[in-house]
Amino acid sequence: QKRTVEDTWRHIGHLVETIEPGECKNYFANAGYASIKT
């Protein structure tokens, strides 16, 4: 299996596409990064 920096970033890019906006929002809220306005 290839182990290059470019392949790693490409794989991360594909993984990011699988994250739903609601999941992302919940992650940041639970991590303490939620906006005071929300």
For residue 3, the model assigns a pLDDT of: 85
Contact 34, 28 (CB under 8 A): yes
Rounded Cα distance, 5 and 11, in Å: 10
pTM score of the predicted model: 0.52
Instruction: Render each residue's pLDDT in the chain as its tens digit; 38 residues.
Output: 668 999 999 999 999 999 999 998 898 889 988 666 65
Classify residue 18 as left (phi > 0), alpha (psi -120 to 50) or beta: alpha
